[in-house]
């Protein structure tokens, strides 16, 4: 079996002139993603910071139908098939194109790991955020249900405020 991975490295603002966030009071985020989990960035007022990824997330889901992913899958000798519900799957089986495990999709011995039909190579992106912003890491059980990213952020902000975790700066 396999699993996805989503992670964020957080760098606090420093006074060092070598830091891109120096003196700005902004935090630096290094976001990594393998699979279809997502990283969301929320504001205390319940709005979501618009990212370049899936449904405004900071990350993009690794799905077999994505052009770059599809090309790698086909070069590795696997096929894509649209299955029940219109979901694209690798060899009519796996509905994502990057994951840990899933060794049956990593059998092309002539190819390096990152070129296998399903690979575990993460995408990395960087962002700056305010000290009052908050991160949410969600799995596909949230992101692929009827719970849009913006509603997840709004609900989280409401719960953080009710718990006294959100205060005026």
Instruction: Give the DSSP letter string of 82-109.
Output: E-GGG-EEETTTBS-SB-EE-GGG---T
pLDDT of residue 165: 83
pLDDT of residue 16: 58
pLDDT of residue 20: 52
pLDDT of residue 22: 45
Global pTM reads: 0.87
Residue pair 154/133 in contact (Cβ under 8 Å)? The answer is: no
> Distance between alpha carbon 131 and the CA centroid of its chain, in Å?
21
Instruction: Please list the rounded mean pLDDT of every run of 10 residues in the chain (169 residues).
Output: 93 69 78 96 96 96 95 96 92 95 94 96 96 93 87 96 77
Cross-strand bridge partners of residue 151: none
Burial class from Cβ neighbours inside 10 Å (0-12, 13-18, 19+) for residue 8 reads middle
Q: What CA–CA distance (Å, rounded) separates 38 from 25?
A: 25
Q: What CA–CA distance (Å, rounded) separates 25 from 147?
A: 32
pLDDT of residue 84: 85
Q: Give long-range contacts, CB 8 A cutoff, 24+ apart: 12-21.
A: 13/131, 20/128, 21/128
- Apex CA 54: angle with CA 30 and CA 80, to 5°? 110
pLDDT of residue 167: 66
């Amino acid at each position: 079996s396999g699993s996805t991975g989503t992670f964020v490295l957080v760098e606090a603002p420093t006074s060092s002139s070598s830091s891109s966030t120096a003196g700005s009071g902004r935090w630096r985020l290094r976001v990594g993603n393998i699979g279809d989990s997502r990283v969301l960035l929320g504001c205390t007022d319940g709005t979501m910071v618009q990212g370049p990824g899936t449904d405004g997330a900071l990350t993009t889901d690794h799905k077999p139908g994505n052009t770059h992913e599809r090309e790698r899958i086909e070069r590795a000798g696997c096929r894509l098939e649209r299955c029940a519900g219109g979901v694209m799957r690798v060899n009519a089986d796996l509905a994502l194109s990057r994951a840990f495990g899933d060794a049956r999709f990593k059998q092309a011995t002539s190819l390096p790991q990152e070129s296998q039909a399903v690979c575990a190579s993460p995408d990395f992106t960087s962002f700056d955020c305010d000290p009052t912003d908050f991160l949410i890491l969600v799995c596909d059980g949230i992101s692929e249900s009827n719970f849009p990213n913006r509603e997840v952020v709004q609900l989280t902000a409401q719960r953080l405020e009710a718990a006294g975790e959100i205060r005026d700066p």
